């Protein structure tokens, strides 16, 4: 038997797949279910996967497939049609669902970035292919994540952070922060008492607090890619 949140999540995923052909992002799922963090989404997805309701598509980021629905989960495609529905459908046939976006974009891959104590961010000349559906407007680059200080935000060691290049961000956003012009880290950005605080998403780590002139924002997290071995 599924919990209420598991029911809500699988219905939301199925609805998004029907509407757009693309599974929702973790941020969209977090907001739709009114959860405080993406780690809650990860737990729900893992539970649904273990019970055989969904599966993750291999070698594709942000790709979930609904294998089956709970018996009481009703979607627009499975809902029984009333008699007057047929008249409405005949007058205004539903547009076909858009095909999944399969365009691939090569983005620069710039070494490793710490999700722990800051380490040097190495500029590289390589690139990596990324589904266009994961990227919004603007210039992007990728960094390989090192460390576990952001695991409660669903960011794990070995993931590839997709970053939109920008020099500004709002409080609470996950950013690439350059400290003292030589070390970079991936953290939540906060400003308080005239200082900049870089918060981890792991209770085992302490926030890092700096004078504002020591920290430069170099981008905001736009998405993640994960390889399964």
Determine contact, residues 177/184, Cβ cutoff 8 Å: yes
Residues 70 and 51: their CA atoms lie apart, in Å, by: 11
User: In this structure, how many other beta carbons lie within 10 angstroms of the beta carbon of residue 108?
Assistant: 16
CA angle in degrees (0–180, nearest 5) for 108-175-115: 85
User: In this structure, how many other beta carbons lie within 10 angstroms of the beta carbon of residue 207?
Assistant: 12
Residues 24 and 38: their CA atoms lie apart, in Å, by: 13
Pick the catalytic residue from 16, 30, 38, 187: 187
> Catalytic annotation on 149?
yes
- Of 212, 119, 222, residue with least CA distance to 173: 222
Pick the catalytic residue from 16, 38, 149, 220: 149
Residues 222 and 162: their CA atoms lie apart, in Å, by: 5
The token pair at 56 is 């993750």
Task: Spell out the SS3 assignment of 168-196.
Answer: CCCCCCEEEEEECCCEEEEEEEEEECCEE
> Catalytic annotation on 25?
no
| Residues involved in catalysis | 149, 187
């Amino acid at each position: 038997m599924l919990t209420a949140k598991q029911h809500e999540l699988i219905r939301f995923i199925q609805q998004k797949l029907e509407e757009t052909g693309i599974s929702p992002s973790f941020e969209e799922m977090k907001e739709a279910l009114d959860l405080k963090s993406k780690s809650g989404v990860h737990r729900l997805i893992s539970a649904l996967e273990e019970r055989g309701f969904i599966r993750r598509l291999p070698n594709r980021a942000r790709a979930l497939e609904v294998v089956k629905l709970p018996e009481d989960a009703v979607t627009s495609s499975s809902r029984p049609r009333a008699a007057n529905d047929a008249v409405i459908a005949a007058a205004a046939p539903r547009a076909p669902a858009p095909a999944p976006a399969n365009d691939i974009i090569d983005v620069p891959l710039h070494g490793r970035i710490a999700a722990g104590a800051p380490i040097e961010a190495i500029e590289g000349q390589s690139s990596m292919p990324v589904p266009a559906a994961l990227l919004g407007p603007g210039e992007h680059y990728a960094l390989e994540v090192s460390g576990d200080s952001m695991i409660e935000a669903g960011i794990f060691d070995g993931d590839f952070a997709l970053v939109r290049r920008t020099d500004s961000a709002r409080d609470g956003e996950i950013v690439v922060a350059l400290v003292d012009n030589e070390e970079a880290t991936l953290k939540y950005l906060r400003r308080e008492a005239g200082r900049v605080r870089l918060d981890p998403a792991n209770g085992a780590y302490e926030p890092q607090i700096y004078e504002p002139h020591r920290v430069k924002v170099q981008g905001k997290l736009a998405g993640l890619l994960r390889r399964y071995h």
